[in-house]
Structure 1
Amino acid sequence: MKRTAISGLFITAALLASPVFAAEDLCTANLQKISDSMATAGATPEGLDESIAKHVEDAKKAQAAGNDKDCIAITSKVIERLEKTEKGGQ
């Protein structure tokens, strides 16, 4: 009985902690994807590099403050913008 209760407690703790780590991982993954995309990008429209750098800075500040939700929101928008630019749209 005690083993079952303890096992259940550990499983519950692991499940509750997972979204926190997943959000942090997604934020970090998005920042890496942006970095990789900028490193391999050819010519970009005027001002895009500065705009992206500003957004990345904001995302890193949000991540450092523990606000992974904002970091993910910012980086997701930047990735969408980069993908549009790569396809020829702005």
Structure 2
Amino acid sequence: MNRFSLFSIVIAAALASPAFAEDICTVNLQKLADNSAALTTLASPAKEQVEEHKKAAEEAQRAGDVETCGAHTEKALQLLQGPGGDGGAETN
């Protein structure tokens, strides 16, 4: 059991490291770029919010604040996914 606990601590420390945060920032910015077509289908308020979060994320990344970058990209991706996680598409 002690080996498992130690392993869990090591994994948690690795996931909390700045390198991991930088990867999330970079990966999420790429996801936003890849989903630019979905951005055109969003209604006006959500579209502006996504663009604001993306801009703030890029500024944070340039400033070296990868945690803030990751937070903004996560929010932008959530807005792109819509309420049901389906890109905002309604189903009947």
Range into which the TM-score falls when normalised by the shorter chain: 0.5 to 0.7
8 Å contact from structure 2 (residues 53, 75) kept in 1: no
What is the one-letter code of the residue matched to 1:21?
Answer: A
State the shift of 1:71 in Å.
Answer: 0.6
Match of 1:46 among 38, 41, 44: 44
SS in 1 for 2:34: helix
Q: How many pairs align?
A: 74
Match of 2:58 among 57, 60, 80: 60
Cα deviation, 1:32-79, whole Å, max 9, x if unaligned, reads: 101111235552212443332222111111111111111111110111
Instruction: Provide the aligned C-alpha RMSD in A.
Output: 2.5
Corresponding position of 2:25: 27
CA distance in 2, matches of 1:72, 1:63: 9
Quote the sequence identity (%): 31
Unaligned 5+ runs, structure 1: 1-14
Higher Cα Rg: structure 1 or 2?
1
Report runs of 4+ in structure 1 exceeding 6 Å deviation: none
Unaligned 5+ runs, structure 2: 1-12
When normalised by structure 2's length, the TM-score is 0.64
When normalised by structure 1's length, the TM-score is 0.66
